[in-house]
Amino acid sequence: MDSKNNPILISEQYFKLSNNRELDKVSNLILKDAIYSSDNTGLYYGRNDIMKMMTSFFNNFKTLNWKINDIKQLTEYVVEIDFTLTGEDNNSNTIRKQGTERIVVVDNLIKHIEVRNK
């Protein structure tokens, strides 16, 4: 195992930065040629497209908070996170969703994100 690669730490940092709406710092965690796939938003290739989608998504909500319910390392590079997302959209509607996110981390940068609803 590459002692420099810590997918759990990077995944937790990704969630923390997302909860703090620090998208500029989230961008620094994502590889230039990363892939993002979500039941909710679709498929995106490359950091620039991923960040455009994330910015648009965040702009639709007053608040968003991802709670990590469970996190486990599946392989040297893959982490699986069960989460609950709560928030309030710009029309004051509340949301609550549960899902599973799989994150692939290579050299402490995110290579792939997959989000599936429960």
Provide the residue ranges of all domains of the chain, joining segments of one domain with +: 7-117
pTM of the model as a whole: 0.94
pLDDT of 4 reads 82
Q: What is the residue whose two structure tokens read 């069960």?
A: 82
- Strands, E assignment, 1-118: 30-38, 42-45, 61-73, 78-89, 94-106, 109-117
Residue 10, phi then psi, degrees to nearest 5: -65, -40
Residues 6+ apart with CB under 8 A from 75: none
DSSP state letter for 2: -
User: In angstroms, how far is CA 102 from the centroid of its own chain?
Assistant: 9
Please name the fold of domain 7-117. Answer: Nuclear Transport Factor 2; Chain: A, (3.10.450)
Is the pLDDT reported for residue 102 higher than 60?
A: yes
Q: What is the pLDDT of residues 37-54, one digit of tens each?
A: 999 999 999 999 999 999
Q: What is the pLDDT of residues 61-93, one digit of tens each?
A: 999 999 999 999 999 999 999 999 999 999 999
